[in-house]
Amino acid sequence: RSSKYRVTTVDSGKKALEVLSLGQQSVQLIITDYCMPEMTGYDLLKRVKESAELRAIPVVIMSSENSPARIRRCLDEGAEEFLIKPVRPSDVSRL
């Protein structure tokens, strides 16, 4: 199925920061899992929001754990949305 979006995937928060810092791609949305190797999605969110160059990029976090405290903490830190897995196409299309 064709889409107007280009998706870039990485397997850790650290690699996400590396890709973002290169500035070679115009990133318009970050969707990240909460549980990742090397840093959590919350840690990635904080690093993005602390960066003058990146803070305007919306960050969506997803997790299989429906933890109200975790969700509130991420939203308070600036997450655009917190999605509970399994994530459906309709969840993504409304972003």
Half-sphere exposure of residue 25, counting CA atoms within 13 Å on the CB side? 15
Asked whether residue 34 is assigned to any structural domain, the reply reads yes
pLDDT band at 2 (very low <50, low <70, confident <90, very high): low
Percent of the chain with pLDDT over 90: 79
Please report, as a single letter, which amino acid is at residue 79.
A
pLDDT band at 1 (very low <50, low <70, confident <90, very high): low
For residue 37, the model assigns a pLDDT of 86
Instruction: Report pTM.
Output: 0.92
How many structural domains compose the chain?
1
Domain that holds residue 31: 26-93
Asked whether residue 4 is assigned to any structural domain, the reply reads no
Residue 55, phi then psi, degrees to nearest 5:
-60, -25
Asked whether residue 64 is assigned to any structural domain, the reply reads yes
The enclosing domain of 55 has a CATH number of 3.40.50.2300
Any alpha helices (H) in the chain, and if so which ranges? 13-22, 41-50, 68-77, 89-93
In whole angstroms, how large is the CA radius of gyration of the chain?
13
- Tens of pLDDT, residues 45-69: 999 999 999 999 999 999 999 999 9
